[in-house]
Structure 1
Amino acid sequence: MSQTITPNLWFERDIEESISSYVALFDPVAPGGAEVTATSRYPTEGLLDFQEPMSGSVLTMDFRLGDTAFTAINGGPAFRPNASISFGVALAERADVDQVWAALSDGGHVLMDLGEYPFNPYYGWVEDRNGFSWQLSLAAADAGPRPFVVPSLLFAGDAVGQAGAALRHYVDVLGGEVGVQAPYPEPSGPAAAGDLMYADALLGDSLVSAMDSGVEMDAPFTEAVSFSVSCHGQEELDRVWAGLSRVPEAEQCGWCRDEFGVSWQVVPANLGELMQRPDAYAKLMAMHKIVIADF
């Protein structure tokens, strides 16, 4: 299954150890296994002052869990993940759920206990030791084809009530369609009747889900989980950037933040090749929106 958006995970440290542990954990249970697919390193010159200690060390690791690609970023302590963006994984066997749950909860924090719920016979929500959140469930026998991992956006605090508008906006920018919509039949905590208890949408070729929080919680969106969009040429990049960037002070080297608080990286599809050109890293760090010709 192709992907229009790729989740990017921001780590403070130990990126190689952490990604190796995810790959080892999911490899036996993910269709097609799991693997590291690429690694990049910080350059040894042209770094910003706060990046100097990372000179020559691993910058990013691309990896896949089943058919879902991720990028991990060794970025330092600037951002900390929370439950605002989690990753839904439906597994074929209870034993698989138990195995993954045990590993992810070791040193982590349980948000919803593993057990039976009205919407799934075996489900749990856990924050792992790195701070990233996972919703594990038992796959329905009659479920249609879905990606192995589905990103889930939680609209909490001041963002409650915006899940539906956000999905419609993302479809407008990236293409696709809104799918299932299950509204709250009556108020639930901060969520009003009609807010979304669950919804999903195809954004291009990527499936995502979203919900308005029915409980009070402090979980604003942060750059610790962002979504990258690979664009074919400057015209497409300009269009996607214009549709997503709404916070000028958050714009840097292709990163932006939308009106709902979610962070995005709008990048050329050939960024890897561009970064091999002379002084590419310094040029990228000086950009807000990426301008391909400036490389």
Structure 2
Amino acid sequence: MKATPFLMFQGDAAGALALYRAAFADFEELLLQEHPEGPQAGQVAMARIRVGGLEIMLYDSPPVHAFTFTPATSIFIECDDEAQLRALAETLGEGGGVMMPIGNYGFSSLFTWLADRFGVSWQLNLK
């Protein structure tokens, strides 16, 4: 058995892939399939990536939904050093929102919680 986070976008999956490629030094694109024709031509039919050892699936949903991402579910990244955490926070946070700015919160000497510009929530923690 294997569990994999599955992120559903509304036409923004390619933009999210570009952001994650820019943010993560260890980004791996395992699969990218685009819709060849129709109203979704060029949008992501299915993608699989790996960041920080975690495989994530992404796609653009054909039907439009009234729901989107929520901070109640986030991807938790343990960073190797402060520079890595700050670089990830800067890249992922551009155009997004910050729930907890970079700081010492007692449970961690350096932590931040943010949403990227697509609404995906990320918690970045210094090991």
Aligned partner of residue 120 in structure 1, secondary structure? coil
Larger Rg: 1
Misfit runs of 4+, over 6 Å: none
Per-residue CA shift, 1:85-124, capped at 9, x if unaligned?
1011010111111111111221111111210011100011
* Residues 94 and 43 of structure 1, relative CA distance in 2, 3 Å threshold: same
The residue type paired with residue 8 of structure 2 is W
**Structure 1: which 5+ runs fail to align?**
28-32, 45-51, 140-295
Structure-2 residue corresponding to 1:118: 106
Q: Which of these residues, 12, 17, 30, is aligned with residue 15 of structure 2?
A: 17
Q: Please state how far the C-alpha of 1:16 moved relative to its aligned partner.
A: 1.9
RMSD: 1.8
The residue type paired with residue 35 of structure 1 is E
Q: TM-score, normalised by structure 1?
A: 0.40
Total equivalences in the alignment: 125
Aligned partner of residue 121 in structure 1, secondary structure? coil
Structure-1 residue corresponding to 2:58: 72
Aligned partner of residue 53 in structure 1, secondary structure? coil
Structure-1 residue corresponding to 2:35: 42
Matches within 5 A, 1:1-295: 4-27=2-25, 33-42=26-35, 44=37, 52-55=38-41, 57-75=43-61, 77-78=64-65, 79-139=67-127
* Residues 126 and 43 of structure 1, relative CA distance in 2, 3 Å threshold: same
* Residues 115 and 36 of structure 1, relative CA distance in 2, 3 Å threshold: same
**Structure 2: which 5+ runs fail to align?**
none
The residue type paired with residue 116 of structure 1 is N
Counterpart Cα distance in 2 of 1:93 and 1:4: 29
Q: TM-score, normalised by structure 2?
A: 0.88
Q: Please state how far the C-alpha of 1:53 moved relative to its aligned partner.
A: 1.1
